Amino acid sequence: MANPTTDQSSTQYLSFFLGGEAYAIGILRVREILEYQPPTRVPQTPPSIRGVINLRGKVIPIVDLAVKFGLPATEATKWTCIIVVETNIAGETAVMGVLADSVSEVIDLPPSDIEAPPSFGTRVKVDYLRGMGRVGQKFMLLLDIDRVLSADETAVAGSVPAASVPKAVAPEAPQTPK
């Protein structure tokens, strides 16, 4: 007997909260979810870029979607996390982190539960949306992560050498200066 939640036509999304609203990103774009760590601020970057982190030797820009959507900056709590996503900008693959107030769950949405993006009533530009997913009696906004994360964020990833970003690991023994 087929399980409707694993239907071939369903798409999985990672749902999360931001500014009290439910959002989702296609699960195939999510690489991992990290516990929040304060990013290193990069001078002269757009306000939506909170900084960068060092993730296993790679520089990952951290984007505050709340600021990008015109909301107050995300305040770090014990539930705040960084969703590491893979995005495609101008034909190039980039890895970035987006802040979320909290992550909810992975959901399966068949095409019948996805509606066109609303033309009114959201804080997000319609261009940033793939649609609205119906989950029970509620809706969540399905983000088009390629459109949300722009060339501004990608430029930060390429402009900061990994050596200049502090490692998020246990302190090492003191080293002599070179």
154 vs 95: which has the higher pLDDT:
95
- What backbone torsions phi and psi does residue 156 show, to the nearest 5 degrees? -65, -40
Sheet containing 129-135, strands listed edge to edge, beginning at the edge strand earlier in sequence: 102-109, 11-18, 21-26, 138-143, 129-135, 114-115
pTM reported for the whole predicted model? 0.78
In the chain, the domains with their CATH numbers are 10-161 (2.40.50.180)
Residue 173 has pLDDT above 60, yes or no: no
Cβ-Cβ contacts under 8 Å for 89 (sequence gap 6 or more): 146, 149, 150, 151, 154
User: Which pLDDT value is given to residue 117?
Assistant: 83
User: Which pLDDT value is given to residue 3?
Assistant: 46
Q: For a pLDDT cut of 90, what percent of the chain falls above it?
A: 53
Rounded Cα gap, residues 30 and 24, in angstroms = 11
Place of tokens 């500014």: 19
User: Which pLDDT value is given to residue 1?
Assistant: 40
pLDDT band (50, 70, 90) for residue 119: confident
Cβ-Cβ contacts under 8 Å for 51 (sequence gap 6 or more): 38, 39, 40, 41, 42, 45, 61, 62
Please state, as a whole number, how many other Cβ atoms lie within 10 Å of the Cβ of residue 165: 20
Interval 43-95: pLDDT, tens: 988 899 999 999 999 999 999 999 998 889 999 999 999 999 999 877 888 99
**Across the chain, what does the average pLDDT equal?**
82
Residue 174 has pLDDT above 60, yes or no: no
Please state, as a whole number, how many other Cβ atoms lie within 10 Å of the Cβ of residue 169: 8
